């Protein structure tokens, strides 16, 4: 029985953090044993809003690769590839652009939200506007059955499947296949400051590569319940980032429930709760950090992982492109 194909990936704009781990990395490690998994380092997509700073993207390709390997992604089981090294993706994007209207792209709610967040307004780069089409090329090139995404990315999957249906209808073929979104069973992790969004620019993330000292500093600086001023005061667990992180990473669920009840009744200080979180995170991050340091000493191995992964990926994307050209009557010779 053929394994289903999963396509996942990250933009190399910074090191990966706990939000990435709980949202996707852990699932990728589990999936690599049961699925045909491609993990894309989406450097071209990263350039849609970092076009003036390509060095940032370049510098983070190895950082992201190190994060992948350190959490347990095995290049013998999962194919790690670099997007810009697959020219087939860009040719497919060009063909697909003829299947999508400008109005449809402008209506894409994910794109509209991100345009507002990045303040593009009238200075909107065309590359940013059409990146859902590029994403459709990525997904269809690998004929992915499953694409893990957050709820905010569901419109991208819908856009991809619209392109698939339109292509197959126009060219009377079944060359392209629709994909299915796979939603994470863990909601997005808040930043250490309680902000719904986590990232480097907000200085509110704990990274997988952070030192033990950095983790302690960041946890001790985390926001808690602002009304919990004294140890004896009842505290609020809901909306409290420290408890949100404990819920995501603490495996002792019985002990955690007892901790929550104690905090709600009063008599438990924020420092004690944060000390528990530091211990939980250190148990998780210490082996990840050690593996990362080991792989960081092997630059030739990292290069080979990316070259071999991309080579394997090209065999797949070249086959899809050949089929697309044949369906479009572009196989002249």
Query: Given this model, what pLDDT does residue 115 score?
Result: 81
Provide the pLDDT confidence category of residue 201 given band limits of 50, 70 and 90.
confident
**In the predicted model, is pLDDT for residue 109 greater than 80?**
yes
| pLDDT for 194 | 86
22, pLDDT greater than 70: yes
pLDDT at 1 over 90: no
Quick one: pLDDT at residue 254? 95
Average pLDDT of span 65-76: 97
Q: What is the mean pLDDT of residues 49-53?
A: 89
Calculate mean pLDDT across residues 117-137: 85
pLDDT at 141 over 70: yes
pLDDT at 157 exceeding the cut of 80:
yes
User: What's the rounded Cα separation, in Å, for the pair 325 and 284?
Assistant: 48
pLDDT bin (cut points 50, 70, 90) of residue 29 is very high
Distance CA 133, CA 123 (A): 20
Domains of the chain: 5-189+299-327 (3.40.50.620), 210-293 (1.10.240.10)
Check: CB of residue 148 under 8 Å from CB of residue 184: yes
Whether residue 314 contacts residue 262, with contact meaning beta carbons closer than 8 Å, is answered with: no
Mean of pLDDT values over 154-174:
96
| Cα–Cα distance for residue pair 317/294, rounded to 1 Å | 32
Check residue 292 and give its pLDDT.
97
What the block records as the tokens of 64 is 């992201």
User: What is the arithmetic mean of pLDDT over 236-255?
Assistant: 94
Comparing 34-38, 45-49, 150-154, which segment has the lowest mean pLDDT? 150-154
pLDDT of residue 48: 85
Most confident of 13-27, 97-111, 304-318: 304-318
Picking from 30-39, 66-75, 123-132, 276-285, which range would have the lowest pLDDT averaged per residue? Answer: 123-132
- For a pLDDT cut of 90, what percent of the chain falls above it? 77
pLDDT confidence of residue 185: 67
């Amino acid at each position: 029985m053929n394994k289903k194909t999963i396509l996942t990936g990250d933009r190399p704009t910074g090191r990966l953090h706990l939000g990435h781990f709980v949202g996707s990395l852990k699932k990728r490690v589990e999936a690599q044993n049961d699925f045909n998994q491609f993990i894309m380092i989406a450097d071209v997509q990263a350039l849609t809003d970092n076009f003036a700073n390509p060095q940032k993207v370049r510098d983070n390709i190895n950082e992201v690769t190190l994060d992948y390997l350190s959490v347990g992604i095995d290049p013998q089981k999962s194919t790690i590839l670099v997007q810009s090294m697959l020219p087939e993706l860009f040719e497919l994007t060009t063909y697909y652009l003829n299947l999508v209207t400008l109005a449809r792209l402008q209506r894409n709610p994910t794109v509209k939200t991100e345009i507002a967040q990045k303040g593009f307004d009238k200075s909107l780069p065309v590359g940013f506007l059409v990146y859902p089409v590029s994403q459709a090329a990525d997904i269809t090139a690998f004929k992915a059955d499953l694409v893990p995404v957050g709820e905010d990315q569901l419109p991208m999957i819908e856009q991809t499947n619209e392109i698939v249906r339109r292509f197959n209808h126009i060219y009377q073929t079944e060359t392209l296949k629709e994909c299915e979104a796979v939603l994470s069973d863990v909601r997005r992790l808040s930043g250490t400051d309680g902000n719904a969004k986590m990232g480097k620019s907000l200085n509110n993330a704990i990274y997988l590569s952070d030192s033990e000292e950095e983790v302690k500093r960041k946890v001790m600086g985390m926001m808690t319940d602002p009304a919990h001023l004294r140890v004896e005061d009842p505290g609020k667990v809901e909306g409290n980032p420290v408890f949100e992180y404990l819920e995501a990473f603490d495996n002792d669920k019985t002990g955690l429930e007892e901790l929550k009840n104690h905090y709600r009744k009063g008599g438990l200080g924020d420092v004690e709760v944060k000390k528990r979180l530091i211990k939980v995170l250190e148990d998780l991050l210490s082996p990840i950090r050690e593996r990362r340091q080991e792989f960081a000493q092997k630059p030739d191995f990292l290069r080979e992982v990316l070259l071999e992964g991309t080579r394997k990926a090209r065999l797949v994307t070249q086959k899809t492109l050949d089929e697309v050209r044949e369906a479009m009557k572009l196989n002249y010779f």
